[in-house]
Structures are given as C-alpha cells and as structure tokens.
Structure 1
Amino acid sequence: MDNIQKVKYKDIFKFWLPLASTWLMMAFEGPYLASIIARLPQEKFNLAAYGVALAIGLLAEAPIIMLMSASTAMVKGKHSYYDLRRFAIYLNILLTLIISIICIPQIFYFFAQDVLGLKSEVSKIAHIATILLIPWPAAIGYRRFYQGILIKNGKTKYVAFSTIFRLMFMSVSAIVLYNLNILTGAAVGTFSLSSGVIAEAVAVRIMANNIVKGIKQNEQDKNIPLITISKFYIPLALTPLIGLGVYPAVTFFMGKSIKSIESLAVLPVINSLVFIFRSLGLSYQEVVIAIISKNENNYKIVRNFAAFLGLFCLISMGIIAFTPVSHLWFKVISGLSDELAKFAMIPAMIMVALPASTVLISFQRGVLVNCSITNPITIATALEVSIIIASLILLIKFTLLPGAIIAATALVIGRSIASLFLFLPMKNCVPKNN
C-alpha cells in the first residue's frame, strides 16, 4: 500500500482481504465455542451464563478497541510510537483493574442477581466464566496497538497470520477442556477465548518487530502530548464503550422479558451468526482511513467498494436467515435443541440488515476519523444506544413478544438511526469533486 496513491478496486480488495480474514476468523470463534457449550451439560444455563460473561468482557475491552485506528493514524516515528505506547499501557492497566474489581464476588453477584435479575444457577456459572476473562482486555489492547502499526505499513497479511495463532490456541484449549470435562461449558468458552487472544498478542508483537525497529530509527516526528492523544482518542474510545454497553443492557432487559432464559440462551448464538457478516464491515474502517489518507481522490472508489460489500453482506445473511439453511446453522452446526433452534429463527430474520449497516457505519466512521472529526462518532453511538434502550423498555412494557425478538428489533432500529445521523457531519469530510 505504501506506493499506492490512486487505487483500483483490486488494490482495495487486496488490502482489505487479510483484515476481513482476520475478523472472519474471530467471528467464527463465537459459533464454534457456542456449539461446544451447547454439547456440554446444562446447555441452557451455560449458554446464558456465557452470554453474560462475554457481555462483561466486551464492555471491559471496549475502551481499548480503537487503539488499532489510533496507531494506524498517529504512529509516524520514534516519538509518536513511544507516546502512544505509553498511553496504551496505562489504559491496559486501568481496564485490567476494572474487570478484576467486577469479579469480586460481592460486586459480581449484586450485579448479576440484583441488577440483571439472573437466577442463581446462571450467575454462579457466569462468575467463574468472567474471572477467566480477566487477561482479555489487556491482551486485546496490546495486540491492537501493534496491529495498527502493521496496517499503517501495509502489512495486513501479518494481521491475518497472527489471528491464526489465536484460533489455534483457542481451538486446542476448547477441545482439551471439552474432553477433560472439568469446567462448566461457559468456563470452557471464556478460558479458550483468553488463551487464544494472549497467543495472538505475542504473535503480532513478534511479526511487528522489524517495523518497530524502523520506526524507532525515525526521529523526525514530534512528541504527541498526552492531552493531545486523549482529545483524539477519548471520543473514539467512547464509541465502542457506549456501543458494547448495549450488550449488558440487552442482557439486563432480557432477564425481565418473556421467555428470558431462552432469549439469553439463543442471543449469543444469533449474535455470533450476525457477527460473521458484520466482521466484513468492521474490517473496512481501517481500510477507509489508510487509503483515503494516501489520496483524497480515492474517496469515490472506497465508497463504491463499501456499497458492493454492503450488498453482499445483505444477500448472504438473507440466504441463511430466510431459507432452510437457518435450521442447518442453529440445529446442526450450533447444536441447539429443536426448541431453541426454532426460537432463534425469527430474531435472525429481523437482524438480517445489521451486517450491511455495519459496512455503512464503518465507512462513515473511517471518513470522519481521516479528517480528525471524532465527536460525531461518539454522539451517533450514544444516540444508537439510547434508541435501543428506549425500544427495549417500550417493547417489553407494551408487547407480549419474546425477549429475543424484542432485542433484535431494538438493535436494528438503533443502528439505522445512528447511520442516518452520521450523514450530515460526514458531508464536511467528503473531498471536493467526489
């Protein structure tokens, strides 16, 4: 990518494909682990507990996710590298401390039982599963910082290779623990996730070693004050923090909905399916940043590629949701019982547009980050979450729909409104003649 100024579709595809492969490999973690949990004892309770633990883990990692975008945009030489790395270390320590505090029994059970209203059988399983996620946020932050550096230097293939290590360690851990049968299904899932991401963090640091050496030799860039990094990063960090805060919120409302246990059990499985196609869009944000920053005239072709990608995601997700393939996915692949597989089908149909909307919002965010306008991204995410929560409250109070259907509907409404909101501020970032 370094030598590419005006790109073609094939250039975007070659640059995007390794990143998409990385996200796809991560996306298959969810269905894979859910299928293992579904085949272990107490399927319903363990799937529900795994969903709760994963929601907490995602919330804990949320502030660190955008480090990849930050390092892609900000690391230019020795001084900026050390400044942003120091910032990342502080953030990793803080998030590890927070998730450790959440795991204190008195705090966890108050949250799980008194706030979320979970049954004691689910909350006990979820507590152990969450403890096993304590290394998760710091490992995510470490590897995303160095993955951003790899992307900045056009080494997107290395990002994909590092994820292979993650999947290998995750798979080995899951298979061994499944056969030993010494942990609950939810604990098997979270331990496997943690072991995989730690392996990935080590691998990506090794792969970035030569690039980092070159960066350290470049002393022509300037130091970036902590306050400058914070002003740039905090709006970005708030975006996934607010966005991923949706999942604990949805979990909370599912505990108060009709068919709450069934809804908690199927939502991780449905979300895992949707995430497979959403991952294609999530991987596109760094592509937008990297390519448009090379040449503003690339805007139109990057936009068109996003349109093709969104259409592909919509059609692919639709084929699964609205055909007998859905039964194959939920029953045969995911291992759900007949009752839960049937229960999952309608929510999956409702969420069919979410992957395409993810492509759109990733494109919008990439354009805004490229011109250093990050506040609208935070506002849009806050708006999305507010709409989702309001929809959950209203639908649970005034309808008799099962919780999973209500959650799916609320997620689609919230994302649609957030995307509409970003069109106006994005207009200021569109290059002239595009």
Structure 2
Amino acid sequence: MKNKENVTIKQIFDLWLPLAGSWFLMGIETPMLTAFVARMATPEITLASWGSIVYPISLAIEGPIIMLLAASTALATDRLAYNKLFKYMVIMSLVLSFIHVLVAFTPLYYILALDLLNVPESLVEPGKLGLRIMTPWTFMIAWRRLNQGTMIKYGNSKAIAIGTLIRLFSLIIILAFGRWYTNLSGIFVGSLAVAIAVTMEALYAGKAVQKILKESLPKTSNNAPINRGSFIKFYLPLAMTPLMTLLIHPAGSAGMSRMPETLSSLAAWPVVYGLIFLTRSMGFAFNEVVVSLADKPKGLFQLKRFAKVLSISTMGILVTIAFTPLGEFWFSKVSGLSSNLVELSSITIMFAILMPGYQVYQSWYGGLLVHYRETRGISEAVMIYVGLALLGLYLGTHFASVPGIYWTINVFVISGLCQTFFLRYRYKGISI
C-alpha cells in the first residue's frame, strides 16, 4: 500500500487476518495439548505440572525476546539493520537459554519449584522432566519472531500463518503418536511435542524470510543506523513488558498453590488459560497492524473503528461459551476434563469475559506508543499490572475462601483493566 492511499477497513482486515490466524493457531496449541494428555495416564498430575511449572517457567525465561517481533517490524529498515537485530537476537537467546539450563538441570529447580512456587510434591519430578525437554524453546521462539516481524514489515504475513500451521500439524502428529503408539508419560509426550513443533515453525520462518532479505530489503536506508545504545533504549521497555507479564503466570500458580482447592485449580488452569488465550489472540494480532498502519492516511480513524468491532466480537465469543452449553462441551468433550474440573472451569470463564475486549485496546494503545517510539509508557503500564496482580495474589493467600482459580482470574481481570486505562492515559499524554 502506498503512503498516499487512504487506509480502509478491508486493508486492515487483510493485514490482520493472517496474523490473527497465526495467533489463533498458536492458541489452539494449549487446548490441543490438554485434550491429548487429559486422556493419558495421571491427567491431573500432567496438566498441573504443565500448567504450574513447565509452561509458565518456560514462558517467563523467554519473555525478554517475545517483543523481537515488534522490534523487527519497526526497525528492520535495511539489511544492515536486520543483521544487527539478528546479532542481538542470538546474544539474548543464548543468555536466556543458559538460564533455562540452569533452572532445569541444577538444584536451582528445586528451590524454584518447592520454595518459591510451592507446588505439590507430586508435580516436582514431572515438571523437571518437562522443563528439560523444553530447552530449545527460547532460541527457536527468538529466531522465529525476528523473522516474522521482518515478514510483516514487507507484506508477507501469510507466511506466518503457514508457519503456524506447520507448528500445529507437527504438534498433533507427535501427540497422536505418543498417545496411541507409546507408553510414555503425558508430560514427556506433551513437552516433546511443543519443543519440536516450535522448532519446525522456526526453521520454516528462517527459510521464508530469505526471499525478503534478497529481494525486498534494501541494502541501506535513510534511517539512523542501529547501535547497541539505541537498540537498548528502544527495546528494553518492550522487553520488560512481556517479561513482567509472563512472570505473573508462575506467580498465579504459586498463589493458587496457597489457596483452597489447590490441585483442582492448578489442573484446570492451563485449560482455562488456553481458552482465554484463544479469544485474546485476536487482539494480540492487532498490535503489529497498528504499528504498521498508524502513519498512513485515515489510518488512525479506521484502526479505531476496527478496534471497536473486534473488541465487541471477541467478548461476544467468550460470553457465548460462558453462558451456553458450548462451555460444557468444550471442557468436557474437547478438553476431556472430569466433571469436577468442568464445573470449576465453566465458572472461571464467566469471570474472564472482559479479557479479550481489553486486550484489543491494549494492542491499540500499545501499538500507537510503539509507532511513536514512546515505549516507556508500555513498561510503566505493565508495572502497574504486575504490582496490582501480585498484591491481589498475596491477599488471596491469606483471605481467599473460594477456589484459588476464581480468585486468581478476578485479580488478573482487574489488574488488566487498570493496565489498559493507563496505556490510554500515556498515549493521550504524548505530543504527536
């Protein structure tokens, strides 16, 4: 699209759809995993160890590299810039992978699992096995997201959806083989499937970006060259955003471990979180669209219209699931949960209805702040979210008289709303 052309809703939709498809397919990963392992041996142990140890710790460690997608979308203006970003990606991901190894293969794991997260003893060894298998996760995510951002910037977002399909099919094949043709534990099969699937997606993204690097990416541009100082100034606030957010996930598990109905809450949590992620994924995809189109004629006006429709639509989906038999079908037939966990999960979803709606507006205001390179407001908003969430979880460990998952989801909703309003405040305060 040329700069002189007005942005239309159709153009926004065409850019957003493959990104949303990619996020949605990514979101299916957790429900797909739980659907298989819930039908294997000791499903509650497997689900609880995945949801309280393996997945949240892996996410927290890789948190600083998640925003490489937004960084490469904004900064990969020429080949030299891409090469610099690639160099920084390798350094960050190797350091984070080393941290992952320290946690998974040394006594540090027991300090984290038993003393900090306070998970039940029955989850400790399965969690350690899963975390060790997930060692390649951080590097592959970093490499993939750097290349995905470059593909978005140069108009090849459909390749991202193809890569996610490859990831999903790889996941299904390994889960199905492990479920029906081996006697391996659910945590082994599930962790191995996720690790291999994300590796396959990263390999595809690395191949798909080569055409852009050779044909579309200019050797030089008029933009100021990237150096270590400018990159840190731009990226550090972005990196802190997912890091602090993802640290809340294990904090939520730690909180639920100290609240009523511990094992049931921990077992239901990955299933509930996976469903909420599916509906929020539509809003996650909007962030890069805002960054890409905000400076185009009529861009802000049309993006704001699109945000309103998207917010209402995604909340409507969750309302339908929460208040119709579709919810019971999802948790019982699709996810394979026991009747006790079905009831627990169905009620929890009712508390989460606002989450996909405010996610759209977090992407709207956050994308605008990235576009205008005012990223400090994003990290400030996340600090507010984290501070309120930690306070709420702490209070829950002392005063909660309801199942821990109910308390935790309400803490996250209230904290997320405050984060959204602060992002709006920071955007309104910048000089454009």
Q: Which runs of 5+ in 2 are unaligned?
A: none
2:288 corresponds to which residue? 286
2:311 corresponds to which residue? 310
Q: Give the C-alpha shift of residue 323 in structure 1.
A: 1.4
2:85 corresponds to which residue? 84
TM-score after normalising by structure 2: 0.97
How big is the alpha-carbon RMSD for the aligned residues of Structure 1 and Structure 2? Answer: 1.4
Matches of 1:390 and 1:195, distance apart in 2: 37
Are 1:324 and 2:315 counterparts? no
1:248 corresponds to which residue? 250
Matches of 2:188 and 2:380, distance apart in 1: 36
CA offset digits 1:275-300 (Å, max 9, x no partner): 1110000011000000113x253101
Matches of 1:256 and 1:135, distance apart in 2: 31
Q: Give the C-alpha shift of residue 216 in structure 1.
A: 6.0
1:148 corresponds to which residue? 149
1:28 corresponds to which residue? 28
Query: Which residue of the other structure, out of 234, 259, 262, is the alignment partner of 2:261?
Result: 259
Q: Which runs of 5+ in 1 are unaligned?
A: none
2:338 corresponds to which residue? 337
* AA in 2 matched with 1:285: N
Matches of 2:3 and 2:289, distance apart in 1: 15
Cα 1:118–1:408 shift into 2, 3 Å: same
1:95 corresponds to which residue? 96
Matches of 1:205 and 1:69, distance apart in 2: 17
Are 1:109 and 2:110 counterparts? yes
* AA in 2 matched with 1:382: M
Matches of 1:4 and 1:267, distance apart in 2: 48
Q: Give the C-alpha shift of residue 4 in structure 1.
A: 7.2
Aligned residues: 430
Cα 1:223–1:244 shift into 2, 3 Å: same
CA offset digits 1:303-335 (Å, max 9, x no partner): 110110000001111000111111101011000
Q: Give the C-alpha shift of residue 396 in structure 1.
A: 3.2
Q: Give the C-alpha shift of residue 234 in structure 1.
A: 0.7
Q: Contact 2:7 / 2:297 at 8 angstroms: preserved in 1?
A: no
Cα 1:5–1:189 shift into 2, 3 Å: farther
Matches of 1:97 and 1:116, distance apart in 2: 21
Q: Contact 1:2 / 1:153 at 8 angstroms: preserved in 2?
A: no
Cα 1:125–1:247 shift into 2, 3 Å: same
* AA in 2 matched with 1:7: V
Q: Contact 1:77 / 1:215 at 8 angstroms: preserved in 2?
A: no
Q: Contact 2:94 / 2:139 at 8 angstroms: preserved in 1?
A: yes
Are 1:53 and 2:66 counterparts? no
1:165 corresponds to which residue? 166
Q: SS of the residue aligned with 1:28?
A: helix
Matches of 2:286 and 2:90, distance apart in 1: 26
Cα 1:181–1:254 shift into 2, 3 Å: farther
1:272 corresponds to which residue? 274
Q: Contact 1:367 / 1:429 at 8 angstroms: preserved in 2?
A: no
2:398 corresponds to which residue? 397
Q: Give the C-alpha shift of residue 228 in structure 1.
A: 0.5
Cα 1:430–1:309 shift into 2, 3 Å: farther
Q: Which runs of 4+ in 1 moved over 4 A?
A: none
* AA in 1 matched with 2:257: G
TM-score after normalising by structure 1: 0.96
Q: Contact 1:50 / 1:187 at 8 angstroms: preserved in 2?
A: no
1:236 corresponds to which residue? 238
Are 1:44 and 2:41 counterparts? no
1:7 corresponds to which residue? 7
Q: Contact 1:81 / 1:215 at 8 angstroms: preserved in 2?
A: no
Q: Contact 2:253 / 2:266 at 8 angstroms: preserved in 1?
A: yes
